């Protein structure tokens, strides 16, 4: 049978084996055929538990511009409070510098990691097998995704591509191909797919994109959704068997409105094509997230979200958090980017301060804590 005699969406599936540019529509229609084995309609075991013990061994894939800094802050605070140990890079706040896939040797060679880590929560190009080799056997794995066009807009502005290249967002989308210009060597189109471990060469390969989703579906017991943060935090608390107060967090590292670029409808349509791998990831895990919320119970979820918001309101009242521009902040509260706001706690003491510490500085504090522990030759037992 000649290829042109079969339906167009079947031809689209075949044509992508030559790694050409594909459309989102083709990706989604092919996905109906190819993704059946990756769906997870069954209720996951962790949603069945009525009683459980808090989980301390956790691996989090920190995806760029997906509200992952907020989740990282939750993990940093919890681990620090309970004297857990972290997998920490020797330098900076990345394993592999954002360009090289994670390897367990990156932890073993670091002077901060002579202790078995409980929490993996640092930026890396994901490599499940190597992370699994690094972590205890009972480690739980989770990550977070975001609507791809919104993610790309935020990433473009956050990394100052207009200032660096002299191109507006619309000009960039028209002129820069989807395999070109990864800022700093690792930031660009299909950022989630890159963070999940997809190579630049595979960005136009639909088969590789489907395989990436299959692997991720098998590896992560929970995938949060940035646009549905309250529900995500409720499920995270359930997944880790933590209290809701353990997952309270401020909206940190979020781009200020005045730095957000506008985008034309033409560019939006172009990005539906350019970001096809990310849309496959996002749509798959959005559907799975809905299934897990359904399994948790809609009424129960509404009640838990209300309770989460009540606890957050009480925390804000207790600590009197004040949002400030980066230029007005110093010390532990100063964020890495001048385009985001930070917070100070006007009252509340030591219990409130960890919510406001910028993540790069928090990471340095954790490194210093583990360095002192190693120098003293003592290993604090993790809190149970």
CATH code assigned at 235: 3.40.50.300
Q: Quote the tokens at residue 210.
A: 């489907």
Residue 352 located in a structural domain: no
Burial class (CB within 10 angstroms; exposed 0-12, middle 13-18, buried 19+) of 172: buried
Residue 325 located in a structural domain: no
> Which residues of the chain register pLDDT less than 50?
1-40, 381-384
pLDDT of the residue at 18: 36
Residue 247 located in a structural domain: yes
Number of domains in the chain: 1
Q: Do 359 and 73 contact (CB within 8 A), yes or no?
A: yes
Q: How far apart are CA 252 and CA 267, in angstroms?
A: 28
Residue 294 located in a structural domain: yes
Name the residue range of residue 85's domain. Answer: 3-35+55-306
Residue with tokens 């109906």: 32
Burial class (CB within 10 angstroms; exposed 0-12, middle 13-18, buried 19+) of 236: buried
Residue 40 located in a structural domain: no
β-sheet with 222-225: strand ranges across? 119-120, 58-61, 140-145, 222-225
Residue with tokens 């129960």: 300
Q: Quote the tokens at residue 50.
A: 């009525």
Indicate if the alpha-carbon torsion angle 315, 321, 326, 332 is positive or negative: negative
- H helices, E strands: number in the chain: 15, 8
Beta carbons within 10 angstroms of residue 161's beta carbon: 21
Beta carbons within 10 angstroms of residue 85's beta carbon: 22
Residue 384 located in a structural domain: no
Angle at 367 between CA 365 and CA 370, to 5 degrees: 110
pLDDT of the residue at 184: 79
């Amino acid at each position: 049978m000649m290829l042109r005699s079969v339906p167009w969406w079947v031809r689209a599936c075949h044509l992508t084996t030559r790694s050409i540019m594909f459309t989102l529509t083709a990706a989604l229609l092919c996905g109906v055929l190819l993704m059946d084995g990756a769906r997870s309609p069954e209720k996951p075991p962790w949603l069945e538990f009525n009683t459980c013990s808090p989980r301390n061994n956790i691996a989090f894939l920190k995806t760029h511009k997906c509200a992952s800094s907020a989740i990282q802050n939750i993990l940093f605070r919890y681990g620090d409070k309970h004297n857990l140990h972290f997998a920490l890079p020797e330098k900076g706040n990345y394993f592999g510098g954002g360009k090289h896939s994670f390897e367990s040797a990156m932890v073993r060679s670091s002077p901060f990691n002579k202790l078995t880590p409980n929490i993996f929560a640092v930026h890396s190009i994901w490599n499940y097998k190597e992370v699994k080799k690094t972590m205890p056997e009972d480690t739980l794995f989770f990550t977070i995704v975001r609507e791809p066009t919104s993610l790309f807009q935020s990433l473009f502005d956050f990394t100052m591509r207009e200032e660096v290249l002299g191109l507006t967002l619309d000009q960039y989308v028209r002129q820069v191909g989807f395999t070109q210009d990864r800022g700093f060597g690792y930031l660009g189109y299909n950022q989630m797919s890159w963070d999940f471990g997809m190579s630049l060469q595979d960005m136009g390969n639909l088969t590789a994109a489907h395989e990436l989703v299959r692997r991720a579906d098998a590896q992560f017991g929970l995938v949060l959704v940035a646009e549905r943060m309250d529900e995500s935090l409720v499920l995270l608390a359930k997944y880790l068997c933590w209290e809701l107060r353990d997952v309270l967090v401020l909206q940190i590292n979020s781009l200020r409105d005045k730095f957000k670029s506008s985008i034309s409808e033409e560019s939006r349509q172009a990005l539906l094509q350019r970001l096809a791998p990310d849309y496959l990831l996002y749509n798959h895990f959005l559907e799975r997230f809905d299934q897990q919320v359904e399994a948790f119970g809609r009424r129960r979820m509404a009640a838990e979200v209300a309770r989460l918001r009540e606890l957050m309101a009480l925390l804000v009242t207790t600590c009197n958090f004040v949002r400030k521009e980066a230029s007005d902040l110093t010390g532990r509260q100063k964020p890495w980017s001048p385009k985001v706001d930070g917070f100070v706690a006007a009252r509340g003491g030591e219990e409130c301060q960890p919510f406001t510490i910028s993540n790069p500085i928090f990471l340095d504090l954790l490194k210093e804590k583990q360095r002192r522990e190693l120098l003293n030759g003592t290993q604090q037992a993790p809190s149970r």
